[in-house]
Amino acid sequence: MNSAPLLELRGLSKRFGAVQALEGFDLDVQPGEFVTVVGPSGCGKSTLFNIVAGLDEPDAGGILRFKGRGCHARELLGQVSFMPQRDLLLPWRNVVDNAILANEIEGANRSQARAKALSMLPEFGLTGFENQYPHQLSGGMRQRVALMRTFLFERELMLLDEPFGALDALTRSMMQRWLLDVWQRHRRTILFITHDVDEAIFLGDRVVVMTARPGAVKLMREVNLPRPRAPELLTSPEFTAIKREVLDAIEEEAMKSFLTGTAAAP
């Protein structure tokens, strides 16, 4: 992959009052790449995604390029698909109508969008639940509806903020393999936040470890493990070696954030 990066971030910083959330964050993402991001709680991961999704602006001085063109963060609104950390399902809409929300806002044909969503239900393990409302679903199911919404809003770059956080271990590993499969078939570019180091390595072409706040890149680790990836990989020596490196970097930062009191309040 030596084409021009799809996304280029240089020296991105963001301050909220007294809190410096990001400082000098640099990252290039190549088209079709799967990049995972880990880092201590409160280090600015979601802030980074809000900027790349066009929902927030970085402080002056940083450079943001998308598809080779320098742009303001706000211009990215609607150009990337984004699954926020909270699922943001609307309680008065059923599964299908929640799934097509972003398409509807965009002005897509409603019945076509519904038909597409219905056809995707089995892939997301939601068959038979199309007419249910969020309060009738489990946490994991709500997360899958939110994920389906992100996939239905077809953009080259997808930002997924801890999409499997509410899933039990078994469903989670099923969803990881499912996501890899979908990603390989659709050739989307994914930026993926997680607190799970195994997940970050299992999914990623590269793992970005962030520093404690202010967030910057602490470690950028290539994951040169063959694809398709099977669960056995998790216990291989190659996997374990990468995991050790990533864990060392995270532990150092987590310790720092506790000692300096920069860990996010629970």
Closer by beta carbon to ligand ATP, 15 or else 110: 15
Residues of span 202-221 touching ligand ATP by CB under 6 A: 213
- Could you say whether residue 257 binds Mg ion (CB under 5 A)? no
Q: Exposed, middle or buried by CB within 10 Å (0-12, 13-18, 19+), for 230? A: exposed
Q: What are φ and ψ of residue 197, in 5° steps?
A: -65, -40
Q: Of 153, 67, 146, nearest to 106 (Cα)?
A: 153
Pairing of strands 63-66, 69-70: antiparallel
Residues of span 87-146 touching ligand ATP by CB under 6 A: none
Beta bridge partners of 8: 28, 65
> Per the structure block, which two tokens stand in for 64?
């943001």
Closer by beta carbon to ligand ATP, 49 or else 239: 49
Q: Of 162, 126, 130, nearest to 144 (Cα)?
A: 126
3-class DSSP state for residue 216?
coil
Q: Which of 46, 50, 176, 189 binds Mg ion (CB under 5 A)?
A: 46
Segment interacting with ligand ATP, rule: CB under 6 A, options 36-44, 89-97, 151-159, 196-204? 36-44
- Name the minimum Å distance from CB 46 to Mg ion: 3
Segment interacting with Mg ion, rule: CB under 5 A, options 81-89, 126-134, 136-144, 221-229? 81-89
- Could you say whether residue 197 binds ligand ATP (CB under 6 A)? no
The amino acid at residue 105 is I
**Residues in the site for Mg ion, rule: CB under 5 A?**
45-46, 85
**Residues in the site for ligand ATP, rule: CB under 6 A?**
16, 19, 21, 39, 41-47, 85, 213, 264
